[in-house]
Structure 1
Amino acid sequence: MTAQAPKIFIDGEAGTTGLGIRKRLAPLEQAGRLRLLAIDPAKRKEPAARQALMAEADITVLCLPDDAAREAVALADELEHTSHATKVLDASTAHRTQPGWVYGFPELAPGQEKLIAQARRVANPGCYATGAIALLHPLVSQGLVKADAPLSINAVSGYSGGGRKMMESHAREGGPAFMLYALGKAHKHLPEISLRAGLAHPPLFVPSVGHFPQGMVVSIPLHQGVQLAPGLGGAEVRDALARFYNQFTTHGVHVLDQPQPTMVAEGLAGRDDMELAVHSVPEAKGVVLTARLDNLGKGASGAACRNIMLMAGLENSKMI
């Protein structure tokens, strides 16, 4: 990284995630801490114009569909052994399980922040995956949840994560109040969840969309002696999560001491942190784990900005 303010190029900045990143980084640009490079809208699909900006940028952020992200990485790779090499942060699904890419979830393990800061290629996590991994990885790694246990994950997201057609359908009067989707299909976040949570096989995942723009709740039921080690209750599970995240001095994951019996998915809309909770169900000899976050915040743009801060050496800067 140069001694000057680092230059950031957002390839695909007109999309929801790209716009969210630019909005969060704008105060840092105004303060002279970084510089945002912008492409001529008429040239946003021209490989040569995009590569020219990559060659100028310290960090290139990809907010593109998977195939387009792979093509963009190929453009960046052509610069890698020149004086114009750029770091790449990919917000698509394309590289989240690929060798050679660092997973951009700083709270995944002690030392993950340093790996992100030093990496040339970082994959930003998916929104559902962020909640599921935050709940499961600490418990699997501590032996409280069996890696080969049958798991089910339910989740509801705001419609802003579903693309233009979904956003338009909900913006119209009379849009659907609630909708299950991807039924009978393997969701694209499953490989990422399985790998990063340390699971032996993919869980059953039931995603859904609610009639609200931003917000998300991921919930996972666990039974003693099935998914959970025998005899474990809510207090032990909560303590294990808190013990894991207390290892980090700076993080955006909070384990609640006293979770409420109800939860509104929009509760963290507009924020870039995440709340984890453990709800005891003694009658069923189990617990329900929940993660609440903003699908566009900690689940997308907010997470990307945290990674940009690390990759640019600006982690101590205030973003918003």
Structure 2
Amino acid sequence: MTRTPVVFIDGEAGTTGLGIRDRLASLPVALHSIDPAHRKDPSARKEAMAAADLVVLCLPDDASREAEAMAATMGGNAPRLLDASTAFRTAPNWVYGFPELEAGQAGAIASAPRVSNPGCYPTGAIGLLRPLIDAGVLPAHYPVCINAVSGYSGGGRNLIEAHVRDGGPAFELYGLGLEHKHVPEIHKHAGLTRRPVFVPSVGHFAQGMIVSIPLHLDDLDGHVTTNDLHTVLDRHYAGQDAVRVLAPEATLSAEALAGSDRMELRVHGSPRHRQVLLSARLDNLGKGASGAAIQNIRLMLGLG
């Protein structure tokens, strides 16, 4: 009889942890949990780690680093780790958990002892940029400017409560010091040599996200067209279930993929003006968080 793999979610009471827990119900795994009264007890957490084949860390960055250090003390009995924080997304000894990133990435995730789950904004930005840079149609030194809007569910408990209680602002820019914690992740995994400008925002809706990147075609290598960019993306993601390259639309609603674990990519453009807008639409809690984690859990546990 095949042994059922055991998963422990360290931080299962948070938004991402709850989303992963709900999705795990459809997989052939056993979920190991800690009594809520002992979730911050180091000995209880280490005992739970020892009982698991895979530990999913849904913790703040510092707590994730502490959990990794704790696992390291277990030697050969240490479980594999999937981290949902930003702590290890650019760490050299962690595999980046974006299966569609490049050929071989899914296999690397499947065999890795440590995998970092991508951020929601970076998933859209990297999903658009990396194939174009790898194909040579977008220069790695291009001065990329990324605009993005997310539902308030990605902002943590205080922001969620403020929007639910007060109605929140209809639209709000933030991170205007241009030091957002997702920038290093985008910079590295998109393959950029120049640090991108990233302008995030939050809207008064619970779930959903659009990431958009404007380009001037005359600044790209060669005589690149809008169709060329679409073709590169379409070929890169051919056969992928979670990422789809679709035809441009006149309007896009950020909420359209709420509850979905897919991401949609589009190339909008004006051939007359030689201008393009790349767009990625996803659910910040789906492909941007829990849905991506389930993809990685499936790969790491060999669940297909």
Partner of 1:229: 221
- Pairing 1:238–2:230 present: yes
- Structure 1 position 16, deviation (Å): 0.1
- Pairing 1:270–2:263 present: no
Instruction: Work out the CA distance in 2 between the residues paired with 1:26 and 1:78.
Output: 30
Partner of 2:91: 98
* Deviation readout 1:10-42 (Å, 9 max, x if unpaired): 0000000000000001132xxxx2100001111
Partner of 1:137: 130
Partner of 1:259: 248
* Deviation readout 1:191-223 (Å, 9 max, x if unpaired): 111111100021101000000000000000010
Partner of 2:45: 50
Q: Give 1:181's aligned amino acid.
A: Y
8 Å contact kept, 1:233–1:280:
no
Q: Give 2:3's aligned amino acid.
A: Q
8 Å contact kept, 1:224–1:230:
no
Partner of 2:286: 297
Question: Secondary structure of 1:284's match?
Answer: coil
8 Å contact kept, 1:87–1:120:
yes
- Structure 1 position 285, deviation (Å): 1.2
Q: 2:146 aligns with which of 133, 148, 153?
A: 153
Q: Give 2:269's aligned amino acid.
A: S
- Structure 1 position 284, deviation (Å): 3.0
Partner of 1:306: 295
Q: Give 1:19's aligned amino acid.
A: L
Instruction: Work out the CA distance in 1 between the residues paired with 2:133 and 2:193.
Output: 10
- Structure 1 position 261, deviation (Å): 1.1
8 Å contact kept, 2:218–2:274:
no
Partner of 2:196: 203
* Deviation readout 1:41-80 (Å, 9 max, x if unpaired): 1111111110111011000000000000000001111113
* Deviation readout 1:220-278 (Å, 9 max, x if unpaired): 0010232x2242221111001111112xx44311000x221100000100000100000
Question: Secondary structure of 1:267's match?
Answer: coil
Question: Secondary structure of 1:219's match?
Answer: strand
Partner of 2:173: 180
Instruction: Work out the CA distance in 1 between the residues paired with 2:193 and 2:26.
Output: 43
Instruction: Work out the CA distance in 2 between the residues paired with 1:310 and 1:276.
Output: 23
- Pairing 1:65–2:60 present: yes
Partner of 2:6: 7
Instruction: Work out the CA distance in 1 between the residues paired with 2:240 and 2:232.
Output: 18
**Number of aligned residue pairs:** 304
Instruction: Work out the CA distance in 1 between the residues paired with 2:75 and 2:137.
Output: 42
* Deviation readout 1:97-149 (Å, 9 max, x if unpaired): 00110000000011111111100000000000000000000000011111011
Structure 1: 5+ residue runs without aligned partners? 316-320
Q: Give 1:67's aligned amino acid.
A: D
- Pairing 1:219–2:212 present: yes
Instruction: Work out the CA distance in 1 between the residues paired with 2:82 and 2:300.
Output: 9
Q: 1:185 to 1:63 in 2, by over 3 A?
A: same
TM-score (norm 2): 0.97
8 Å contact kept, 2:178–2:198:
no
**RMSD (Å) for aligned C-alpha atoms:** 1.2
Question: Secondary structure of 1:291's match?
Answer: strand
1:14-25 counterparts in 2 under 5 A? 14-25=13-24
Instruction: Work out the CA distance in 2 between the residues paired with 1:42 and 1:271.
Output: 33
Instruction: Work out the CA distance in 2 between the residues paired with 1:312 and 1:234.
Output: 39
TM-score (norm 1): 0.93
Percent of aligned pairs sharing the same letter: 60
8 Å contact kept, 1:63–1:92:
yes
Instruction: Work out the CA distance in 2 between the residues paired with 1:254 and 1:63.
Output: 27
- Pairing 1:287–2:282 present: no
- Structure 1 position 169, deviation (Å): 1.1
